[in-house]
């Protein structure tokens, strides 16, 4: 086997330009597949981590609408404080909180931005900290009795969201109303969360004119209760309260496990389609290898005849050509892996620089690297099977007479 390898390697080395051109299709395909799979796995890991923080005992209730929570366009679709009370009274619910979640205009030092306004009760902050980190970097959270006071996300005070960074004690306007900044939340990790503005729920509701409308309701299952059973009870109670028929609800109730499964199913389909598209270039690369090997058989017909005349068997010739095609695939795969890792890391860095730190991190595993190498070698070897068989069946006398 060692002799076959070196003979195949030397044959490819003699045809450097053709070998490099042949490998282009392979390393482009492998690079695309490695980059997509590593980024996809990185995003999957991020989603899993976020849902681990959320906890398996959480239940999300929100309007059935396209877009972010709180984006219901009709009052009849929106959740209300009355719906929150229904959820709070369901057996098996330890606590339930409702939050206002709306886009709004904020102004600071004659500059204007559109961002998400989060309206919440002061007592809800401690409960929400079970789901997401809401540590204060500067200042404090608002307390009961605070009215026109806000807490802003990390990017307001430590990024270039404004020409001059916001500081505790500054004044900003929300929908024309002045608010005093009393706190800045520590970095959460993505651009949208770190640009949010938090204020007392009643104040935000009055400013936006939405009355008792809520963006979403979050509930925690009491210890000893099955979240899915509690979620079914919440759905049944809300359906009765809102006088809606089964399968015609204007709201959705999902446990954190169900939400995670939905994300995974959608993401799995998207990733499979993208990898499938990228794999087309591998087929093209395989055809390129096959074409190169057929050409090599024709060019080396006399060489094959000479080898057979001095005692080489059909299996020897077959293995030499299979090793050559396999090496083309293997080297092309190795180059593709290096390019793919570089692309994935480049995307990770670009997103991190754009304020989406942690959202998409390339996950490079040895399994992915070894799998990509093995796959590229197999593609190369299979592509060389027919040319190798043709070469091995040549008769010595006919091969030596070939012009």
DSSP for residue 77: T
Average pLDDT on 296-310 reads 72
Please give the pLDDT value at position 249. Answer: 84
Please give the pLDDT value at position 399. Answer: 56
In this predicted model, which residue has the larger pLDDT, 236 or 312? 236
In this predicted model, which residue has the larger pLDDT, 203 or 316? 203
Q: Say whether pLDDT at 73 is over 60.
A: no
Please give the pLDDT value at position 178. Answer: 92
* Exposed e or buried b per residue across 161-180, where buried means at least 16 C-beta atoms within 10 angstroms of its C-beta: bbeeebebebebebeeeebe
Cα atoms in the Cβ-side hemisphere of radius 13 Å centred on 122: 11
Percent of the chain with pLDDT over 70: 88
Q: Say whether pLDDT at 234 is over 90.
A: yes
Closest CA to 319 of 368, 261, 388: 388
Q: Say whether pLDDT at 176 is over 70.
A: yes
**pTM tops 0.95, yes or no:** no
Please give the pLDDT value at position 57. Answer: 85
Helix 314-353, helix 16-54: angle, nearest 10: 50
Residue 207 token pair: 């400013």
Q: Say whether pLDDT at 92 is over 60.
A: yes
Please give the pLDDT value at position 356. Answer: 61
- Read off the pLDDT of residues 279-288 as tens digits, 9 standing for 90 and up: 787 788 888 8
Going by DSSP bridges, is the β-strand pair 149-152/177-185 parallel, antiparallel, or unpaired? Answer: parallel
């Amino acid at each position: 086997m060692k002799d076959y390898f070196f003979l195949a390697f030397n044959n490819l080395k003699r045809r450097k330009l053709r070998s490099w051109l042949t490998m282009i299709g392979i390393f482009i395909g492998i690079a695309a597949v490695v980059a997509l799979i590593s980024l996809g796995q990185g995003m999957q890991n991020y989603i899993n981590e976020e849902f681990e923080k959320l906890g398996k005992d959480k239940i999300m209730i929100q309007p059935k609408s396209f877009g972010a929570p709180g984006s219901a366009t009709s009052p009849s679709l929106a959740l209300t404080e009355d719906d929150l009370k229904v959820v709070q009274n369901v057996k098996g619910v330890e606590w339930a909180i409702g939050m206002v979640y709306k886009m709004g205009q904020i102004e600071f030092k004659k500059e204007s931005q559109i961002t998400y306004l989060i309206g919440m009760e002061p007592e809800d902050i401690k409960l929400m900290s079970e789901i997401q980190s809401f540590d204060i970097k500067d200042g404090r959270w608002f307390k009961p009795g605070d009215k026109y006071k806000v807490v802003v996300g990390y990017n307001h005070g430590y990024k270039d969201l404004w020409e001059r960074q916001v500081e505790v004690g500054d004044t900003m306007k929300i929908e024309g109303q002045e608010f005093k900044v009393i706190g800045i939340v520590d970095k959460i990790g993505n651009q949208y969360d770190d640009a949010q503005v938090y204020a007392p729920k009643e104040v935000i509701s009055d400013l936006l004119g939405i009355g008792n409308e809520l963006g979403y309701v979050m509930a925690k299952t009491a210890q000893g209760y099955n979240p899915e059973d509690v979620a079914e009870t919440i759905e049944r109670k809300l359906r009765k309260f809102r006088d809606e028929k089964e399968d015609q609800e204007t709201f959705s109730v999902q446990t954190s496990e169900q939400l995670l499964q939905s994300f995974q199913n959608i993401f799995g389909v998207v990733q499979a389609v993208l990898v499938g598209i990228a794999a087309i270039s591998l087929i093209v690369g395989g055809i390129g290898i096959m074409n190169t090997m057929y050409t090599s058989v024709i060019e080396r017909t006399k060489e094959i005849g000479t080898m057979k005349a001095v005692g080489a068997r059909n299996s020897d010739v077959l293995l030499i050509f299979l090793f050559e095609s396999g090496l083309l695939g293997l080297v092309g795969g190795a180059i593709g892996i290096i390019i793919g890792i570089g692309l994935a890391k480049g995307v990770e860095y670009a997103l991190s620089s754009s304020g989406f730190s942690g959202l998409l991190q390339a996950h490079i595993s040895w399994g992915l690297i070894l799998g990509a190498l093995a796959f590229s070698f197999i593609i190369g070897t299979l592509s060389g099977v027919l040319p190798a068989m043709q070469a091995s069946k040549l008769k010595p006398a006919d091969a030596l007479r070939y012009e």
